[in-house]
Structure 1
Amino acid sequence: MTNDHDGVRELLAAWAVGALPPGDRLGVVQHLAACTSCAAEAERLRDTVRLLDGTPEPSPTPWAEPGTTAPPDGAVHGRPDGAVHASADGVLSLALRSRRPRAAEIAHHAAPYAAAVAGLQALVPEVEGHWGTPVVHDWDAHATVAHLVAADEHLAVHLGVDRRLPVSPIPEGTPAQDAWARRTADVIAHEHGRTPAQTVATWAAQAAALLATPEAADPELAARPVTVMGLRLPVADHFVIRAFEAWIHTDDIGRALGLPVPPPPDEHLWSLVRLAVRILGPALHGAPPVLFEVTGPTGTSWILGDDTDPVHAELSLDPVDFCLLVGGRHAPEEVPSTITGDEDAARNVLERAASLAWL
């Protein structure tokens, strides 16, 4: 490893998430001891990672070695070797502990994303040795994480986070969907030339940088609308979309490995549900009205379609099933649902919801 300033800065993200080999880590530690600007950046990155992991206290210095008050690189929730029980119960318990960030610095709208990032981080150790496992579409587990790098990048760049990967040569005026497909393909191809550990480090560091933006902490700043992947929404809503996608793909990887992944906590799950309904509503403009209910402890209902006409049907779904439908993981004809009244009108809602899927 080079010990020069620029070379070390390129390694700080991987260092912050404990993904550097010992030789590189030693060089980074030596550089941080002498360089105040890199030390400040290292502290910012590690603080954000600590917020995701729920580590209670920072170390006196961000580059503390084993034996100080900080856990060594790679430690997970107080386990000094960084190991995770290689069982479904281990994944479940660790993911559940990780899904509630304790950081007051993260606002309500960014909390679901922070929790989803923590959930995938909890699953990553279980994927070791299985990165080539087919997961979804034509992606293996490695490509699925690479896809998340590309997906999060769109919002990150809007919020001033530096790109971590080469820019794709996409012509100006390319439709958003085509540009998105080209970018994700380029990123996956690029990441397949690197190790899974490097890809995970890039994803985790970008997620940490995204959660360290002012918009992640300030609801007023997050009220600003931006267009990301063809959707013009407040930044706060884009954070919820990032949470949605991170959870869906974590679940994809878990299913491929035969490991159950818990759904988001109720308060986060309902953030996903409410956003999906807000996006679904305009897509059903003029359609026969349907009373749509999402069941659960805080069950809520909406009228979707032309609300000037009498309701044609009533449709009920479980919140997780609804999110999996919108995420493209349930077919409209197969998703568990309860329908009364005009079945065609209710089926139209299910089909429109499924058509929103881009994951």
Structure 2
Amino acid sequence: MHAHDEVLDLIGAWALDACDPDEAARVDVHLAGCPPCAAQARRLRAGAGWLAADRVIPPPRALRHRVLATARAARPPTLMPTLVGAYAGQAALLDGLLGAVRDDDWARTDPRHETVGGVVAHLAGNDAMLAADLGLAVVPVPDGPVAEVHAAWREQSRVIVDGLAGQESALDQPVRLAHTGPPPRRPLRDALVQRAFETWIHLDDIGAAVGRGTTTPPPEQVRRIVDLAAALLPEALEGSPAGTVRLVLDGAGGGEWTLPCGPGGETTIFADAVEFTRLVANRRSAETLPHSATGSPAVSTRVLSVAATLGCD
């Protein structure tokens, strides 16, 4: 019922296109699996059409920002809807892409999971691991037609989004992160960042395989991905002291991160934030990431090489 309650709070604004992107994504994901809410949404959207003015006057460019800033000051958004909304938004984009690919696209080659269908099955399995840790329903991934694999992944995503509605207190619950080795346990807040991250990366993997190109997450999502990588890097570098490492990342979601990584001097690495997240996903390497560094060249190479091992596959 939490998911229904949250959507009912948002659905009027959604019908008027007044939701922010994260809120709209949560509504879209819920409506895809909830016929009663979808029917009400259609009625509200139809009613909104009757309210339209005969002559549309474009609002001032800064109006939406001022209204949202005022509303958020009165009721700041809580973290759970923000993190779940980021994941739901990437899932909605991937679902849309998968719904548009041709039948023969599912068999296109993927370097990590054999085929496009294998990518979706892998993603569904990692989502199922999180659902199991949260005590939510686990949707089996069928060993059958790719359309059924797609449907299983979509349903597992919906279970997670709906199951976490209103569960702000669960953000500190330890759960497993997807990983190439034994899954590390981290708070749910980190796992949700990773689920949005992995969904985006596989969206781009599949987009590249079928000729649809790549995408870029919103800046705040990029920043959360870098935050997670920065939290994981010092432990991953244990046994190879790197001193103090500063990441200075520009572009969307950029900023500065200072990481204590054992004894030694200071090394600063300069790069683009989005490209750094692709490094963390192992879609770039220390050699192919455009970057510069001051301090120890050996340390900067080591840090970037280890960062490329933090991804999900």
TM-score by length of 1: 0.63
For residues 198 and 209 of structure 1, the distance between their equivalents in structure 2, rounded to whole angstroms, comes to 16
1:262-273 equivalence runs, <5 A:
262-273=215-226
1:156-171 equivalence runs, <5 A:
156-165=131-140
For residues 55 and 303 of structure 1, the distance between their equivalents in structure 2, rounded to whole angstroms, comes to 39
2:174 to 211, 225, 229: 225
Q: Secondary structure at the match of 1:262?
A: coil
2:96 to 122, 138, 141: 122
For residue 151 of structure 1, report the CA deviation from its aligned partner. 0.9
Could you say if the C-alpha distance between residues 271 and 255 of structure 1 is closer, same or farther in structure 2, counting changes exceeding 3 Å? same
- Given the alignment of the two structures, is residue 329 of structure 1 paired with residue 283 of structure 2, yes or no? yes
Could you say if the C-alpha distance between residues 152 and 49 of structure 1 is closer, same or farther in structure 2, counting changes exceeding 3 Å? farther
User: Mind listing any 5+ residue stretches in structure 1 that lack a counterpart?
Assistant: 1-39, 72-102, 166-186
Counterpart of 1:287?
242
For residues 263 and 170 of structure 2, the distance between their equivalents in structure 1, rounded to whole angstroms, comes to 36
For residue 227 of structure 1, report the CA deviation from its aligned partner. 3.5
Deviations 1:211-268 (A, max 9, x none): 1113x53332212223445211111111111111111111000011121232111111
For residues 208 and 294 of structure 1, the distance between their equivalents in structure 2, rounded to whole angstroms, comes to 33
Counterpart of 1:251?
204
Question: Does the 8 A contact of 2:234 with 2:261 survive in 1?
Answer: no
For residue 338 of structure 1, report the CA deviation from its aligned partner. 1.4
Counterpart of 1:133?
108
Counterpart of 1:88?
none
Could you say if the C-alpha distance between residues 235 and 315 of structure 1 is closer, same or farther in structure 2, counting changes exceeding 3 Å? same
- Given the alignment of the two structures, is residue 149 of structure 1 paired with residue 110 of structure 2, yes or no? no
User: Mind listing any 5+ residue stretches in structure 2 that lack a counterpart?
Assistant: 9-22, 46-76
For residues 63 and 271 of structure 1, the distance between their equivalents in structure 2, rounded to whole angstroms, comes to 31
For residues 52 and 118 of structure 1, the distance between their equivalents in structure 2, rounded to whole angstroms, comes to 10
Q: Secondary structure at the match of 2:248?
A: strand
For residues 292 and 121 of structure 1, the distance between their equivalents in structure 2, rounded to whole angstroms, comes to 34
Question: Does the 8 A contact of 1:226 with 1:234 survive in 2?
Answer: yes
For residue 134 of structure 1, report the CA deviation from its aligned partner. 1.1
Q: Secondary structure at the match of 2:228?
A: helix
Question: Does the 8 A contact of 1:269 with 1:319 survive in 2?
Answer: yes
Could you say if the C-alpha distance between residues 296 and 307 of structure 1 is closer, same or farther in structure 2, counting changes exceeding 3 Å? farther
Aligned-pair Cα RMSD in Å: 3.5
Could you say if the C-alpha distance between residues 160 and 295 of structure 1 is closer, same or farther in structure 2, counting changes exceeding 3 Å? same
Q: Which has the higher helix share?
A: 2
Deviations 1:142-174 (A, max 9, x none): 111111111100001112222222xxxxxxxxx
Deviations 1:190-218 (A, max 9, x none): 43x2x22221111111101101113x533
Question: Does the 8 A contact of 1:152 with 1:207 survive in 2?
Answer: yes
Deviates more, 1:256-265 or 1:288-297: 288-297
Could you say if the C-alpha distance between residues 228 and 221 of structure 1 is closer, same or farther in structure 2, counting changes exceeding 3 Å? same
Question: Does the 8 A contact of 2:250 with 2:271 survive in 1?
Answer: yes
Counterpart of 1:344?
298
For residue 54 of structure 1, report the CA deviation from its aligned partner. 7.2
Could you say if the C-alpha distance between residues 342 and 52 of structure 1 is closer, same or farther in structure 2, counting changes exceeding 3 Å? same
- Given the alignment of the two structures, is residue 300 of structure 1 paired with residue 250 of structure 2, yes or no? no
Q: Secondary structure at the match of 1:226?
A: strand
Could you say if the C-alpha distance between residues 202 and 105 of structure 1 is closer, same or farther in structure 2, counting changes exceeding 3 Å? farther
- Give the aligned residue type for 2:265: P
For residue 135 of structure 1, report the CA deviation from its aligned partner. 2.4
- Give the aligned residue type for 1:114: A
Could you say if the C-alpha distance between residues 116 and 52 of structure 1 is closer, same or farther in structure 2, counting changes exceeding 3 Å? farther
Question: Does the 8 A contact of 2:80 with 2:168 survive in 1?
Answer: no
Counterpart of 2:50?
none
Deviations 1:90-124 (A, max 9, x none): xxxxxxxxxxxxx9996122222111101101211
Question: Does the 8 A contact of 2:247 with 2:256 survive in 1?
Answer: yes
Could you say if the C-alpha distance between residues 61 and 116 of structure 1 is closer, same or farther in structure 2, counting changes exceeding 3 Å? closer
Identity %: 29
For residues 70 and 143 of structure 1, the distance between their equivalents in structure 2, rounded to whole angstroms, comes to 39
Deviations 1:275-312 (A, max 9, x none): 1111112223432333221212553222334466431x
For residues 162 and 113 of structure 2, the distance between their equivalents in structure 1, rounded to whole angstroms, comes to 32
Counterpart of 1:94?
none
Counterpart of 2:18?
none
